[in-house]
């Protein structure tokens, strides 16, 4: 077999990341998080693209040096073309094009959502790879999708959110409780000590395999407003139970649709990805589903579930094998379906 070295670049949202892969193994995966957005309670696109511009050169240098690779050894450059924030994507796209041109090596465009799914094919001793076909549930601050994955590059979106992403449901609910951004991990933390049945939240009625989370957030808001009118200390006194109930409400929505997807496709292999797959309640529930419904579930290493360049690199590797290269006229694409 051939030795393929891919340098991968990801800049679709608020993380600047570069990775080096040797075939399907990750040699380095460097992520620079942008702390600047915290005080605004969400990602500010204009600030994100400026931070990418500051971070990209040091992050790429670090990825190369941690991998102990000279840029002359690289076989190709892979980059995120979309979907994402246009200003952010432009930084990674322009950088990748220039570097590929300078080194005179192939350029490979990668779809970020495909990468979240193919992250399961990064070779790691602890995490088994799913076999085809499988269902992928991609859940993060920007995405909520169920995808039927027939092969590496044959994927069908069979369900997705019609409004907010699941991470936004966590973060916006947390904001209503006065928790700092991003609130998802805090809801998870408090939920561990709470009673998930304390305050049942309604499941929105959405057709087929699609999701909706904006109504969920509104029902949390109304509930909290009503209770704090009666008792101003309601949140403080019941934070654990409130968080556990919110988390349970979100899990119920996700599992409900997953069950439908399994029934509809007959596929019981479920692979999850995206930052929200760190949630302990979701992980526990999936383990229960393995026992109760005979599902097989796959969760990649945490560093490959949130936005990262290693997942861009694994797509780059599979495209390199097919010689699926991109020419220098390529432009970033903010809306880009699988």
Binding residues for substrate: 138-142, 171, 184, 188, 279
- Eight-state DSSP code of residue 125: S
Regarding beta strands 107-111 and 5-10, do their DSSP bridges make them parallel or antiparallel, or are they unpaired?
unpaired
Q: Which of Zn ion, ligand KG4, none interacts with 106 (beta carbon under 5 to 8 A by kind)? A: none
Residue 98: CB minimum distance to ligand KG4, A: 25
Q: Which of ligand KG4, Zn ion, none interacts with 47 (beta carbon under 5 to 8 A by kind)? A: none
Q: Does the footprint of Zn ion cover residue 15 (CB under 5 A)?
A: no
Residue 118: CB minimum distance to ligand KG4, A: 15
Asked whether 294 and 268 are in contact (CB, 8 A), the reply is: yes
| CA proximity to 273, closest of 55, 107, 116, 67 | 116
Question: Counting runs of H as helices and runs of E as strands, what totals does the chain give?
Answer: 10, 10
Q: Which of Zn ion, ligand KG4, none interacts with 276 (beta carbon under 5 to 8 A by kind)? A: ligand KG4
**x-marked contacts with Zn ion along 138-157 as a string, rule CB under 5 A:** --x-----------------
The neighbouring-strand residues paired with 15 are: 33
* CA–CA gap between residue 288 and residue 311 (Å, rounded): 28
Closer CB to ligand KG4, 109 or 307, in the complex: 307
Closer CB to ligand KG4, 159 or 167, in the complex: 167
| CA proximity to 85, closest of 191, 13, 19 | 13
List residues binding ligand KG4 (CB under 6 A). 13, 140-142, 167, 170-171, 182, 184-185, 188, 274-276, 278-279, 306-307
- How many Cβ atoms sit within 10 Å of the Cβ of residue 40? 10
* CA–CA gap between residue 322 and residue 164 (Å, rounded): 36
Closer CB to Zn ion, 15 or 241, in the complex: 15
Q: In this chain, which residue has its C-beta nearest to Zn ion? A: 307
Q: Does the footprint of Zn ion cover residue 164 (CB under 5 A)?
A: no
Q: Does the footprint of Zn ion cover residue 14 (CB under 5 A)?
A: no
Closer CB to ligand KG4, 184 or 249, in the complex: 184
Residue 53: CB minimum distance to ligand KG4, A: 20
Binding residues for Fe cation: 112, 116, 307
Q: What is the DSSP string of 225-260?
A: HHHHHH-TTHHHHHHHHHHHHHHHHHHHHHHHHHHH
């Amino acid at each position: 077999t051939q030795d393929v070295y891919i340098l991968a670049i990801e800049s679709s949202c608020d993380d600047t990341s570069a990775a080096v892969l040797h075939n399907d193994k990750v040699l380095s995966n460097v992520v620079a998080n942008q702390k600047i957005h915290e005080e605004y309670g969400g990602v500010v696109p204009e600030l994100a693209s400026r931070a990418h511009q500051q971070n990209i050169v040091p992050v790429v240098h670090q990825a190369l040096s941690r991998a102990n690779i000279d840029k002359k050894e690289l076989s190709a450059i892979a980059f995120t073309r979309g979907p994402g924030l246009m200003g952010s994507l432009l930084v990674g796209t322009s950088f990748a094009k220039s570097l590929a041109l300078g080194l005179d090596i192939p350029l490979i465009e990668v779809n970020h959502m495909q990468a979240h799914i193919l992250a399961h094919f990064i070779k790691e001793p602890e995490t088994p790879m799913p076999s085809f076909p499988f269902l992928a549930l991609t859940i993060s601050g920007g995405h909520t999708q169920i995808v039927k994955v027939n092969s590496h590059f044959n994927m069908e979106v069979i369900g997705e959110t019609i409004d907010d992403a699941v991470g936004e449901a966590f973060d916006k609910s947390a904001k209503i409780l006065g928790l700092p951004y991003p609130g998802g991990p805090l809801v998870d933390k408090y939920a561990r000590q709470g009673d998930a049945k304390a305050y049942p939240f309604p499941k929105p009625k959405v057709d087929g395999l699609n999701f909706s989370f904006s109504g969920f957030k509104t029902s949390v808001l109304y509930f909290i407003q009503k209770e704090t009118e009666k008792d101003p200390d309601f949140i403080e006194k019941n934070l654990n139970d409130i968080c556990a109930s919110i988390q349970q409400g979100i899990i119920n929505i996700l599992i409900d649709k997953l069950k439908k997807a399994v029934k509809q496709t007959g596929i019981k292999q479920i692979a999850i990805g995206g930052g929200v797959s760190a949630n302990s309640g979701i992980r526990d529930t999936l383990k229960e589903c393995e026992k109760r419904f005979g599902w097989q579930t796959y969760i990649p290493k945490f560093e490959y579930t949130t936005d990262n360049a290693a997942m861009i690199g694994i797509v780059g590797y599979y495209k390199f094998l097919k010689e699926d290269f991109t020419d220098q006229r390529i432009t970033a694409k903010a809306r880009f379906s699988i």
